[in-house]
Amino acid sequence: MIDDLKNQPDLAYNSSSFQSNVFSEMSEIFKVKNNISIWQRNLGNSLLESSKNILTSNPNLEFSKIVKPDNVEKTLFENIDSSKKSDYLFKDISKVVNMFCDLFSVDSAWLRLDAVYGPMCPRFHVDSVKCRLVTTYVGPATQWLINDIVDRSKLGHGNEGQSDEVSGLYLKESDVNQLAMGHIALLKGESWDGNKGSGLVHRSPQQEGEYKRLYMTIDFTDLYFKIFRNRLEL
């Protein structure tokens, strides 16, 4: 399915979001106008309790592996301190990995599951990736901006040392959108074919005080090999 994007017409970008309560419609990410596609789902009590249990049992969790659709649960059980209560979470992660691989017609993916305390990426930014799946199983979730209201000249050094709130990156606080816990989002990045200058602007959730978060990302494997090959060459 990812090959379809190569056949997209050469149109001006008017990036926007697409939100649905079914995963099958996440394929809207392939449309030129969309740079985020969101599956608005609820975790359910069993999955939420399973997620909290993993976070409590693994307060310093930093899981990072290349996985295939048929070995996700096995890999998670082998690498994460868990109990029978973990079944709900690991089965859900396996389901999401399978959906990602099917959607993009790939046979493996880079899966990361982390315990996070406070914002990892406190400033709004874009990622140099094709597309990244993100979800938060416990805690506050990712914040993002609709492309049409962003002044991209204020990203990075363009903020001239000012906070995102006053730099002019966006106009008002209500411009900041936030995923809910359990929502699954595909974030289109700068490396998506034809999307340079339109990658989704996003950041870690902002709130006062420390917070606990169980955060999952799924990326294409070429990003993994690019990052770790570069590290080996240093």
Is the residue at 45 inside a domain?
Answer: yes
CATH of the domain at 176: 2.60.120
Answer left, alpha or beta for residue 139, where phi above 0 means left and psi between -120 and 50 means alpha: left
Torsion angle of C-alpha atoms 97, 103, 105, 107, degrees rounded to 10 = 0
At 158 the pLDDT is 80
Name the 3-class secondary structure at 205.
Answer: coil
Is the residue at 4 inside a domain?
Answer: no
- 13: tokens are 């970008």
Is the residue at 3 inside a domain?
Answer: no
At 208 the pLDDT is 73
At 230 the pLDDT is 60
The answer to whether 139 and 116 have CB atoms below 8 angstroms apart is: yes
C-alpha span between 9 and 31 (Å, rounded)? 10
Is the residue at 203 inside a domain?
Answer: yes
Diameter over CA atoms, the chain: 51
Rg (CA), the chain: 18
Is the residue at 169 inside a domain?
Answer: yes
Q: How many other CB atoms are there within 10 angstroms of residue 193's CB atom? A: 10
The label of the residue with tokens 């979800």 reads: 135
C-alpha span between 172 and 229 (Å, rounded)? 41
Is the residue at 1 inside a domain?
Answer: no
Is the residue at 8 inside a domain?
Answer: no
DSSP state of 86: G
Range of the domain at 163: 13-233
Instruction: Print pLDDT tens along the chain (234 aa).
Output: 444 433 333 333 334 788 888 888 899 999 998 999 999 999 999 999 999 999 999 999 999 999 999 999 999 999 998 877 789 999 999 999 999 999 999 999 999 999 998 777 778 899 999 999 999 999 999 999 998 888 888 888 888 878 888 787 888 888 999 999 999 999 999 999 999 989 999 998 987 777 899 999 999 999 888 888 765 444
Kindly give, in sequence order, each residue whose CB lies less than 8 Å from that of residue 106, ignoring residues fewer than 6 positions away: 2, 100, 220, 221
At 130 the pLDDT is 95
- 192: tokens are 């998506």
At 15 the pLDDT is 46
At 24 the pLDDT is 84
Q: How many domains does the chain have?
A: 1
Is the residue at 5 inside a domain?
Answer: no
At 190 the pLDDT is 93
At 138 the pLDDT is 97
